[in-house]
Structure 1
Amino acid sequence: MDSEVRQLFLGTGIRVPCLVRGDASAQPLLLLHAWGESRRSFDRLVPLLEEFRILAPDLRGQGDADKPVNGYSLEDQARDVAAILDALALESAAILGSSSGGYVAQQLAVMQPERADALILVGSPLTLQGRPAFADEVEALADPLDEDWVRQSLLWFPLGQAVPGWYLDDRVADGLKMPATVWKSVLAGLCQAVPPTEAGAIHAPTLILWGEQDGLLPRSQQEILAARIPGSVLKTYAGTGHVVLWECPERVAADTRAFLAGL
């Protein structure tokens, strides 16, 4: 299947690369990666979604995108996503967000609801207010980052199912591409934001996928998230931790296809 990585220039002058794969006439599906990752976190998912026009950018400050000193609030990140759609000449798309990528997707759906045809929230939070247990480690970061620290940071999210070693190595490579200031700024932007479902309403059809062993996002919050999005569907993955995308790409793909086909 034809694919390319396009260099997109947002209205702010920031350059972000974006994987574009699939037939131009197919339904567009925008993939938003988590904090500290890149478009390559979807490498195991993308081949399973061949019926869609896949759009997978590196978000500001992460992967191979430009790394400015500012622009990392949750609203800024949502505006970047809208600018990515503009640069791709798309009025809207279905949006799949992994972890904090789903938080950004929620914010876009609140701020610019006409841009989100549907949401697939994969291990996505209801709220990130408060200080996560690993925040002190992040605050202590300095350049150059230590590879052992980045690898150990993956243990913040215990796995319920096996993940290929090469894939974990790629996530370490993603983390090493981010300056310490970006690690800090993105986390601060997420944690300081008013939760999207408290700031406004989400009306896009929404599928919520959550791992029952998620030690970061309790089930009670996922149930509140589902209750706040009218008509949303919450599916629980047994034996799965927070990083649902890493552990269950085949199931995420199957549930995404079924959900979007039913709209």
Structure 2
Amino acid sequence: MPYATTADECRIAYQVRGDGQPLVLLAGQSNNHTWWDPILEDFERYRLITLDWRGTGASDKPDEVYSTRGFAADVVAVLDAMGLDRAHVYGTSMGGRVAQWLAIDYAERVQALVLGCTSPGAKHGYERSQEIRKALAADQSQRVLLELMYTPAWLAQNPGPYYVLGDTTMPSYAKGRHLVASDKHDAWDGLPSIQAPTLVLHGSDDIFSPAANAELLAERIPNARAERIHGARHAYFHEFREVASPLVLAFLDAQDRA
């Protein structure tokens, strides 16, 4: 497995599949690259780049402050290790928060941007309710998380395995570091500087990261548009892949032709 080394000497494990235009896929909080496994084949026309966030998977797990802005620098270290000047970027959940910083701090590295089920940050965005936070902290948190990710009908027909419930190999301190990094995300002031064409996707029934964040981001980012996927919850990209993946592909195709 290849590794990129960051400026602070952290090794970031990354994975590369296929050929074509590079597309970086960024996973959610406390998850590694397997977050994307169920839908990788949807994007097989691209050279797909995934990674394990620091604190997850095969990457180093330093016990220090993490941030979404710092995670963006880790992604750039991967691009540098691969010798890539630019790539399309598709980030979901916390990965979407990181993708915002990529497009703000490293504008020249992002050709097109897709932000899924994400938020500009708690200070200006719409956050999950205290009831949800309490439920996630309770003993039945895994079931609560599943029901936030998927519809009951889909869960009844799909007993697993599930790829969006977190990296079970993470040390507890790393989980805490991820939680704080995501909670402290605030890219609001930088969003108007994003130059990359941007598509914002969100499940219409997402209350984990409330759906109203989609329009909020699209209004704040120049040359952006928002699409809600009807009936979908947080993991819209998986359960509603037959709708979501074609939307992303059509958007990226349009940028490749531009």
TM-score after normalising by structure 1: 0.84
Deviations 1:37-65 (A, max 9, x none): 11111112211111101001111112222
Change (3 A) 1:86 1:137: farther
Are 2:47 and 1:53 equivalent residues in the alignment?
Answer: yes
Q: Which runs of 4+ in 1 moved over 6 A?
A: none
**2: CA distance, partners of 1:6 / 1:149:** 37
Q: Secondary structure at the match of 2:99?
A: helix
Q: How does 1:61-210 map to 2 (within 5 A)?
A: 61-129=55-123, 133=130, 151-152=142-143, 154-155=145-146, 157-160=148-151, 162=154, 164-168=158-162, 170-172=163-165, 174-194=166-186, 196-200=187-191, 201-210=193-202
**2: CA distance, partners of 1:242 / 1:131:** 12
Change (3 A) 1:84 1:152: same
Change (3 A) 1:253 1:47: same
Q: How does 1:222-241 map to 2 (within 5 A)?
A: 222-241=214-233
Q: How does 1:26-37 map to 2 (within 5 A)?
A: 26-37=20-31
How many angstroms does 1:171 deviate by? 4.0
Change (3 A) 1:137 1:239: closer
> Which segments of 5 or more consecutive residues in structure 2 lack a partner in the other structure?
none
How many angstroms does 1:258 deviate by? 0.6
Question: Quick one: which amino acid aligns to residue 242 of structure 2?
Answer: E
How many angstroms does 1:11 deviate by? 2.9
Query: Could you say what the CA RMSD is over the residues aligned between the two structures, in angstroms?
Result: 2.4
Change (3 A) 1:185 1:29: same
Are 2:12 and 1:16 equivalent residues in the alignment?
Answer: yes
> Which segments of 5 or more consecutive residues in structure 1 lack a partner in the other structure?
142-147
**2: CA distance, partners of 1:214 / 1:56:** 24
Question: Quick one: which amino acid aligns to residue 70 of structure 1?
Answer: E
Q: Is the 8 A contact 2:150 2:234 kept in 1?
A: yes
Deviations 1:204-240 (A, max 9, x none): 1111111010113334332121011112121111110
Deviations 1:108-149 (A, max 9, x none): 1111111111111111213234786365688x89xxxxxx76
Q: Is the 8 A contact 2:197 2:224 kept in 1?
A: yes
Deviations 1:179-209 (A, max 9, x none): 1111111111222232x13235212111111
**2: CA distance, partners of 1:106 / 1:89:** 22
Deviations 1:131-179 (A, max 9, x none): 86365688x89xxxxxx766345246252362543331x445x432111
Question: Quick one: which amino acid aligns to residue 13 of structure 1?
Answer: E
**2: CA distance, partners of 1:64 / 1:137:** 30
Q: Is the 8 A contact 2:4 2:77 kept in 1?
A: no
**1: CA distance, partners of 2:44 / 2:107:** 26
Q: Is the 8 A contact 2:87 2:112 kept in 1?
A: yes
Report how many residues are paired: 247
**1: CA distance, partners of 2:59 / 2:95:** 15
Change (3 A) 1:45 1:11: same
Q: Is the 8 A contact 1:32 1:56 kept in 2?
A: yes
Q: Secondary structure at the match of 1:45?
A: helix
Identity rate, percent: 30
